[in-house]
Homo-oligomer: A and B are copies of this chain.
Amino acid sequence: MVIAMKSVTTGDKKARTHDLILDTAAKAIRRGGYAGISVADLMKEAGLTHGGFYAHFASRNAMLAEAMDRAASRSAEAIAPKLQQAVTQGKTPFRALVEQYLSDEHLADAEQGCPIAALGSEICRQPDEVRAVAVRQMQSLRDAISRALPDDVKAEQAGVVMATLVGSLQLARAYGDTAEGRSMLAQSCASLLQQFDKVKQ
Contact = CB atoms under 8 A, between A and B. Distances in A.
A154 to B, nearest CB: 9
Interface residues of A, number: 43
A150 interface: no
A120 B167 contact: yes
A187 B174 contact: no
A149 to B, nearest CB: 12
Contacts of A124: 110, 170, 173-174, 176
B159 A163 contact: no
Contacts of A171: 116, 120, 138, 159, 162-163, 166
Interface in A96-152: 110, 116-125, 131, 134-135, 138
Contact of A165 (B125, B167, B173): B167
Q: Which secondary structure characterizes the binding site on chain A?
A: helix
Interface stretch (A1-9, A31-39, A47-55): A31-39
A191 B165 CA distance: 14
A159 B138 CA distance: 23
Interface in A12-42: 32-33, 35-36
B118 A174 contact: no
Given A119-B121, A159-B188, 18 more contacts: A32-B125, A33-B35, A35-B36, A36-B125, A116-B171, A120-B170, A124-B173, A124-B176, A134-B174, A135-B174, A138-B171, A138-B175, A162-B167, A163-B171, A165-B167, A166-B171, A167-B168, A195-B195
Interface of A: 32-33, 35-36, 110, 116-125, 131, 134-135, 138, 156-157, 159-160, 162-168, 170-171, 173-176, 183-184, 187-188, 191-192, 195
14 contacts: A33-B35, A33-B121, A35-B35, A35-B36, A36-B125, A117-B121, A120-B121, A121-B122, A122-B122, A131-B176, A138-B175, A160-B168, A162-B167, A163-B168
